[in-house]
Amino acid sequence: MRHWQLVAFCILGTASACSSTQYKNVNHPGYGDAEYQADRAQCRKENSTTTSIQGYDVQTRVDVDEVKAASCMTARGWQAVSK
């Protein structure tokens, strides 16, 4: 069952990449989407915990503290801008 949750999470993550909100880095105006995605991945990784549950099968769960990840992005200079 966890496999389907991971698939759904990946689909939602891909769909959210198509959202109308754009971000600009006020510290580095030349940064674009590639830098945004790299910073976002790093902030989410820094603010996540992984739990493995041993049993009949091994289940791995990754929880991201989205509030801390958003704070990390703000600290790196990323701000939402309108199109």
Residue 70: domain span: 22-81
**73/42 Cα distance (integer angstroms):** 9
Considering the domain boundaries, does residue 10 fall inside one? no
Note the pTM of the prediction, 2 decimals.
0.68
Considering the domain boundaries, does residue 3 fall inside one? no
pLDDT in tens, 26-68: 999 999 999 999 999 999 999 999 999 998 888 999 999 999 9
Q: Centre a 10 Å sphere on the Cβ of residue 39 and count the other Cβ atoms it contains.
A: 20
Considering the domain boundaries, does residue 42 fall inside one? yes
* b/e per residue 25-34 (b: at least 16 CB within 10 A): beeeeebeee
pLDDT in tens, 1-29: 555 665 555 565 555 555 578 999 999 99
